Amino acid sequence: MRTGIGYDVHRLTRDRKLILGGVEIPCEMGLYGHSDADVLIHAVMDALLGAAALKDVGYHFPDTDPVYKDVSSIKLLGKVREMLEEHMYLIENIDAVIVAQKPKLRPYIDQMTRNIAEALKVEDKQVNVKATTEEGLGFTGHLEGISAHAVCSIVPALDYMQDDRVSSSCAGCGGCPRLDAK
């Protein structure tokens, strides 16, 4: 099993939509960034890429590339899933937390969870999203920005495949009556 951590932060600004976990949340301020600035998805992507030792979000989707201007981070998360598949990794679980003083995020958490699970082609129960405030402290508490942290576990797909080369019987089962009759 491999574990990865991810962290992202974006400052709040006017004239931007607030997108978290692929959900547009009604708010007078949004997050500043080259893409849609979805800190939750960025933290999840960095956790997954880190677990697979595949560098980070900025390496694969640089903010200097116009292709990624205002791009949906959920679409980029799908590309991260494809990278994991190419390297034969399976996602075990993801646990993430959004740190934001405002707005209250509880009404949107379930949809964020579904969006992440759908983009990664995993079950909802493999993704956990939560939100907290910093009780008015720090840059998030002063409404200067929003941050997110994520942790994930992945496993090589080969760990789930039986290796029938270690046994003389089929599928490594140890034998069956058919073989004993010979």
Q: Which two tokens stand for residue 59?
A: 């390496």
Residue 182 lies in a domain: no
Q: How many CA atoms lie within 13 A of 60 on its CB side?
A: 20
Residue 173 lies in a domain: no
pTM of the model: 0.88
Residue 171 lies in a domain: no
Per the annotation, where are the binding residues for a divalent metal cation? 8, 10, 42
For 17-42, write each residue's pLDDT tens digit. Answer: 999 999 999 999 999 999 999 999 99
Domain residues for 39? Answer: 2-160
For 97-148, write each residue's pLDDT tens digit. Answer: 999 999 999 999 999 999 999 999 999 999 999 999 999 999 999 999 999 9
What residues are paired with 146 via a beta bridge?
10
What residues are paired with 5 via a beta bridge?
151
User: SS in 3 state form for 133-164?
Assistant: CCCCCHHHHCCCEEEEEEEEEEEEHHHHCCCH
Residue 181 lies in a domain: no
| Total of domains in the chain | 1
Per the annotation, where are the binding residues? 8-10, 34-35, 42, 56-58, 61-65, 132-135, 139, 142
Residue 134 lies in a domain: yes
Residue 85 lies in a domain: yes
Residue 67 lies in a domain: yes
| Residue 78: CB atoms within 10 Å | 14
How does strand 23-25 pair with strand 18-20?
A: antiparallel
CATH (domain of 48): 3.30.1330.50
At 100 the three-state DSSP class reads coil
Residue 170 lies in a domain: no
